[in-house]
Amino acid sequence: MIWELSQDHDPATGDEPLLDALAGPLCSGRETICDDGADNDADTLTDCADPDCDAAMHCCLLHPDRDCDGDGALNAADCAPDDGGAFAVPERLVLAVRKPAAAGGAAEISWTDLAAQAGAGILYDLASGTIAALGPAFPGAACLSDDGPAASYTDGRSAGGGGTDGFWYLVRGENVCGQGPYGRAPLEGAAVCD
């Protein structure tokens, strides 16, 4: 038997019981395409206006009071609200410490990890030079580590060898939001670590 939808109309009430019965299971559900300008789940709401699309990143980003990327910073205060590894440009590091090396061994350089201040996706640039050549413009500055993921570096150079009395170190953090400063103007524009 074929039922025509034209027969599915109660003139007294305006109801369409067959269509309503079919529409429930066939058309119910959630909006799953959140960027096509259509009301795919027939609830009169399209795309980001539909609460079903709240989890879609491009819809979530429309709300400054949410943390779309789960990094702990609300969208309004997050420089990269769709990147869970960054929420601020790294600040200047205060100090890099060199632990003395054992005779002929490597020295461990460490600094404060900036992940809590700028996000877990932080990387570090470590510039260095000899103390003997140290001057106001940081001559001879070289990049020891470019985009290192740890707040430490093992320096295998030996102080006192090759006519040097030791090394200086400057560190900066960087992430998708930008580069933090070395803290010394001559190095800020220099291409020591790029």
Residues 71 and 39 grouped into a single domain? yes
Residues 61 and 100 grouped into a single domain? no
Task: Provide the pLDDT for residue 73.
Answer: 95
| Nearest by Cα to 94 from 116, 115, 110 | 110
Task: Provide the pLDDT for residue 24.
Answer: 44
Q: What is the DSSP letter of 189?
A: S
CATH number at residue 119: 2.60.40.10
Q: What is the full DSSP assignment across 89-109? A: -------EEEEPPPTT--EEE
Name residue, tokens 């969208």: 75
Pair 109, 152: CB distance under 8 Å:
yes
Q: What is the DSSP letter of 166?
A: -
Task: Provide the pLDDT for residue 26.
Answer: 43
Task: State mean pLDDT over 132-151.
Answer: 84
Mean pLDDT computed over every residue of the chain? 81
Q: Please indicate whether residue 133 or residue 88 has the higher confidence score (pLDDT).
A: 88
Q: What percent of the chain has pLDDT over 70?
A: 73
Measured CA angle at 147 (ends 140, 137), to 5 deg: 25
pLDDT band of residue 157 (cuts 50, 70, 90) is confident
Which of 1-15, 88-102, 141-155 has maximum average pLDDT?
Answer: 141-155
Pair 112, 92: CB distance under 8 Å:
no
Residues 177 and 125 grouped into a single domain? yes
Pair 128, 178: CB distance under 8 Å:
no
The alpha-carbon radius of gyration of the chain (Å, integer) is: 30
Among the candidates 42, 77, 112, a domain finishes at: 77
**Single pTM value for the model:** 0.71
Residues 106 and 62 grouped into a single domain? no
Measured CA angle at 80 (ends 75, 81), to 5 deg: 30
Residues 45 and 113 grouped into a single domain? no
Task: Provide the pLDDT for residue 50.
Answer: 92
Whether residue 72 is contained in a domain is answered as yes
| Nearest by Cα to 82 from 70, 95, 92 | 70
Cβ contacts of 37 within 8 Å, gap of 6 or more: 46, 47
pLDDT band of residue 193 (cuts 50, 70, 90) is confident
pLDDT band of residue 164 (cuts 50, 70, 90) is low
Provide the domain limits for residue 152: 96-188
pLDDT above 60 for 83: yes
Distances (CA, A) of 135 to 126, 130, 140, 142, 144: 18, 10, 9, 14, 19
Task: Provide the pLDDT for residue 107.
Answer: 82
